[in-house]
């Protein structure tokens, strides 16, 4: 017995816990939903207005029943009541049939007003949901733009995309269910208050009935919550698989692995469908279960009322009819409330997922400064620069060297030695754990973001191009570039002939990731993108390592032109590309082990000479002379 009671209390507690979590979630998210607050107040106002109108339509049935009894004394007392005296005041001396028709008209008017208010409320609610969805997507995108790089390294693109699609929709649905729950609860409370006025005993009995139904269906809410979490995980997994499958379609087709990819997708999609089917069955079962239990309980309440209150004369007989009407109108509301609670349990996972992403840390932790960056007049100096990943791994350990203004420094070393990490620190994609990077004695963190990034140009190993025109790809980050700036960048990047051969010239769409261009053309377009802003610092991260010999010579010629007059940091995989560098810095396991010129380092026994010998063995460098 005690175990059963404890179980029921646990189920009720879980339902209340869901409500508390949902309301707490929306309270936390209110800054992101604030642009829709007046719509929210309007929807709540409509709910408050429609509730008494709903009760009024049912409540006016009692005067109708009194009129139908044919008791003149009762009719006179009724028309002299608190509100209905307005009828004889406005229409004195009319017949009972007129007043009866007037009561019928009032019922119709109340129901019409209720439905008009409900219609307005539904439209306002739709506008509110649309605006909230828009606000959430915008807030999430802005938060993603400020997220640390590790977020994009640790999660698939499809997982991030799923947050913007599936999870924001579920969050908006959750809010819609909360409003529906509030609206139905308002009407139910008004009806319950009317029942309490007629008989407090009946209202207590009805509350007991609602509690019993809630305890019997509570375990279904917990099951829906579990299915909601499962669906959220599967949708994020499917999003990642979609992005990977489409981005790697060349590999899929070249290896003839379409069947394997299809099987993986089918398995994921089937899991989502199974979770949704189970949730639909459970949610759909709540309505008939609650309806059968509710109607049975309501009939039991009416039978008890008849024997305990009507027969002994403690209640007028017509009140039993009114109670029957109220209970019959109230029971569907109770079923809808349980349905909304079930949907809240199912969709709450989406709200939690959106909250998790909105709560993630912003980058940088230490704010950037507001100084203007106008170029390098003395040098770029790395002083005791150390960087550790969140897992504790040391990527750079007290790295120090200096690049004079207008000169080129080359970073060489084996994979994993810290070259790209050093470049990402200079670009300010990451923040040094300790140490400083100074430009003319000023910590590069003190420059305003727009000013700093406009003053640096970056060309990476794999040129990322957007599915836009050549012009738009070159002018990323520099939408105000003049035609002269664009022409100069294209000329330095040796792209004039390429542009002339494209069907629409600069307005030719290059395809997703630049599929319409060759590897060398994409790299040269990336060089033009870096140069269109006329940067003072140029960062080249293994810009030719993925190219064939012919393309490499073309791109290298463009890079040599690009470096003229600029302070450059070059990450080199092919040593032949850095023979003319003013400074070569050799890295091993995140430390500087050698630095100097090509000739000086080539004559010394050490890591650089070993790299040269290895390069000669694979015909990547010519060290003769």
pLDDT at 624: 37
Distance between terminal CA atoms of the chain? 96
Side-chain half-sphere exposure of 34, counting CA atoms within 13 A: 5
Q: What gap in Å lies between CA 6 and CA 559, rounded to an integer? A: 75
In the predicted model, is pLDDT for residue 578 greater than 70? yes
Under 8 Å between Cβ of 272 and 238:
yes
Please state the rounded mean pLDDT for residues 68-80: 58
Query: What's the chain's average pLDDT?
Result: 78
Please state the rounded mean pLDDT for residues 133-157: 82
pLDDT at 4: 40
Residues 130 and 270 placed together within one structural domain of the fold? yes
> What is the 8-class DSSP label of residue 621?
-
Q: What gap in Å lies between CA 46 and CA 58, rounded to an integer? A: 19
**Last residue in a domain, options 326, 358, 390:** 358
Residues 331 and 444 placed together within one structural domain of the fold? no
Please state the rounded mean pLDDT for residues 215-234: 68
pLDDT at 622: 43
For 106-134, the pLDDT digits (tens) are 878 888 888 888 888 888 888 888 888 88
Please state the rounded mean pLDDT for residues 364-380: 89
Q: What gap in Å lies between CA 25 and CA 143, rounded to an integer? A: 18
Copy the structure tokens of residue 494: 């040796």
Under 8 Å between Cβ of 418 and 490:
no
Residues 241 and 183 placed together within one structural domain of the fold? yes
Q: What gap in Å lies between CA 199 and CA 45, rounded to an integer? A: 29
Say if 370 falls within a structural domain. no
Say if 511 falls within a structural domain. no
Q: What percent of the chain is modeled with pLDDT above 70?
A: 79
In the predicted model, is pLDDT for residue 9 greater than 70? no
For 310-360, the pLDDT digits (tens) are 788 787 776 777 777 777 777 777 766 766 776 777 777 778 888 888 888
Say if 596 falls within a structural domain. yes
Reported as a pLDDT band with limits 50, 70 and 90, residue 397 is: very high
Residues 333 and 385 placed together within one structural domain of the fold? no
Copy the structure tokens of residue 542: 């293994």
Greatest CA separation found in the chain?
126
Say if 494 falls within a structural domain. no
Range of the domain at 388: 380-455+569-625
Which of 135-149, 550-564, 611-625 has the lowest average pLDDT?
Answer: 611-625
Residues 262 and 343 placed together within one structural domain of the fold? yes
CATH number at residue 43: 1.20.1560.10
In the predicted model, is pLDDT for residue 82 greater than 90? no
Please state the rounded mean pLDDT for residues 223-240: 71
Say if 432 falls within a structural domain. yes
Residue recorded with tokens 């979630």: 25
Residues 277 and 344 placed together within one structural domain of the fold? yes
Please state the rounded mean pLDDT for residues 369-376: 91
- Omega within 30 of 0 (cis) for the link into 357: no
Residue whose C-alpha is closest to residue 474's, from 561, 562, 374, 485:
485
In the predicted model, is pLDDT for residue 387 greater than 90? yes
**Highest mean pLDDT: which of 21-25, 281-285, 358-362?**
358-362
Residue 434 pairs in a beta bridge with 386
Side-chain half-sphere exposure of 119, counting CA atoms within 13 A: 6
Tally of structural domains, the chain: 2
Say if 61 falls within a structural domain. yes
Please state the rounded mean pLDDT for residues 220-235: 69
How many helices and strands, by DSSP H and E, does the chain display?
23, 10
For 519-540, the pLDDT digits (tens) are 788 888 888 888 888 889 988 8
CATH number at residue 430: 3.40.50.300
In the predicted model, is pLDDT for residue 284 greater than 80? no
Say if 480 falls within a structural domain. no
pLDDT at 425: 92
Q: What percent of the chain is modeled with pLDDT above 90?
A: 11
- Which residues neighbour 305 within 8 Å (Cβ) at sequence distance 6 or greater? 199, 201, 202, 315, 320, 323
pLDDT at 33: 67
In the predicted model, is pLDDT for residue 143 greater than 50? yes
Q: What gap in Å lies between CA 14 and CA 342, rounded to an integer? A: 12
Residues 240 and 354 placed together within one structural domain of the fold? yes
For 240-275, the pLDDT digits (tens) are 677 666 666 655 665 566 777 777 778 877 877 777
**Which position has the higher pLDDT, 590 or 281?**
590
Residues 339 and 435 placed together within one structural domain of the fold? no
| pTM greater than 0.75 | no
Which of 277-291, 396-410, 481-495 has the lowest average pLDDT?
Answer: 277-291
Reported as a pLDDT band with limits 50, 70 and 90, residue 367 is: confident
């Amino acid at each position: 017995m005690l175990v059963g009671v404890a179980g029921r209390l646990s189920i009720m507690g879980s339902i209340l816990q869901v409500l508390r979590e949902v309301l707490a979630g929306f309270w936390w998210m209110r800054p992101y939903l604030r642009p829709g607050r007046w719509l929210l107040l309007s929807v709540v106002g409509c709910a408050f207005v429609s509730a008494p109108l709903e009760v009024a339509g049912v409540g006016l049935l009692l005067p109708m029943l009194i009129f139908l009894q044919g008791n003149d004394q009762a009719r006179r007392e009724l028309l002299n009541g608190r509100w209905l005296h307005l009828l004889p005041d406005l229409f004195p001396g009319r017949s009972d049939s007129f007043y009866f028709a007037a009561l019928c008209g009032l019922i119709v008017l109340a129901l019409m007003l209720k439905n008009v208010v409900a219609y307005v409320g539904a439209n306002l609610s739709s506008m509110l949901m649309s605006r909230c969805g828009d606000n959430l997507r915008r807030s999430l995108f802005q938060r993603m733009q400020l997220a640390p790089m590790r977020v994009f390294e640790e999660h698939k693109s499809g997982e991030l995309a799923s947050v913007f699609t599936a999870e924001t929709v579920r969050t908006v649905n959750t809010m819609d269910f909360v409003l529906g729950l509030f609206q139905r609860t308002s009407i139910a409370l008004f009806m319950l208050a009317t029942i309490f006025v007629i008989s407090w005993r009946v209202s207590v009995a009805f509350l007991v009935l609602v509690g019993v139904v809630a305890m019997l269906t509570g375990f279904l809410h917990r099951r829906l919550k579990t299915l909601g979490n499962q669906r959220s995980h599967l949708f994020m997994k499917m999003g990642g698989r979609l992005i990977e499958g489409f981005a790697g379609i060349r590999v899929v087709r070249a290896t003839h692995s379409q069947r394997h990819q299809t099987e993986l997708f089918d398995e994921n999609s089937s899991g989502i469908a199974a979770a949704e089917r189970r949730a639909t069955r459970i949610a759909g079962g709540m309505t008939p279960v609650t309806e059968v239990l509710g109607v049975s309980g309501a009939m039991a309440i009416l039978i008890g009322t008849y024997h305990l209150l009507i027969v002994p004369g403690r209640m007028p007989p017509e009140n039993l009819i009114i109670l029957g009407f109220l209970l019959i109108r109230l029971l569907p509301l109770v079923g809808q409330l349980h349905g909304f609670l079930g949907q809240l349990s199912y969709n709450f996972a989406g709200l939690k997922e959106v909250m998790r992403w909105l709560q993630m840390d912003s980058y940088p932790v230490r704010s950037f400064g507001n100084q203007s960056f106008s170029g390098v007049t003395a040098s770029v100096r790395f002083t005791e620069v150390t960087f550790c990943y969140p897992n504790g791994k040391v990527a750079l350990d007290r790295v120090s060297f200096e690049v004079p203004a207008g000169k080129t420094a080359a970073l060489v070393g084996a994979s994993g030695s810290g070259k790209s990490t050093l470049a990402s620190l200079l670009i300010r994609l990451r923040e040094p754990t300790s140490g400083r990077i100074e430009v003319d004695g000023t910590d590069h963190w003190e420059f305003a973001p727009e000013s700093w990034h406009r003053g640096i140009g970056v060309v990476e190993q794999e040129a990322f191009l957007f599915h836009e025109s050549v012009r738009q790809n070159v002018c990323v980050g520099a939408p105000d570039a003049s035609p002269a700036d664009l022409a100069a960048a294209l000329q330095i990047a040796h792209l004039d002939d390429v542009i002339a051969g494209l069907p629409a010239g600069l307005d030719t769409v290059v395809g997703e990731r630049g599929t319409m261009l060759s590897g060398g053309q994409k790299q040269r377009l990336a060089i033009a993108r870096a140069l269109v802003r006329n940067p003072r610092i140029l960062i080249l991260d293994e810009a030719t390592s993925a190219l064939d010999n012919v393309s490499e010579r073309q791109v290298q010629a463009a890079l040599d032109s690009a470096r003229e007059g600029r302070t450059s940091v070059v990450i080199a995989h092919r040593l032949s590309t850095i023979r003319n560098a003013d400074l070569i810095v050799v890295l091993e396991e995140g430390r500087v082990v050698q630095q100097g010129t090509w000739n000086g380092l080539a004559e010394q026994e050490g890591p650089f000479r070993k790299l040269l010998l290895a390069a000669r063995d694979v015909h990547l460098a010519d060290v003769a002379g």
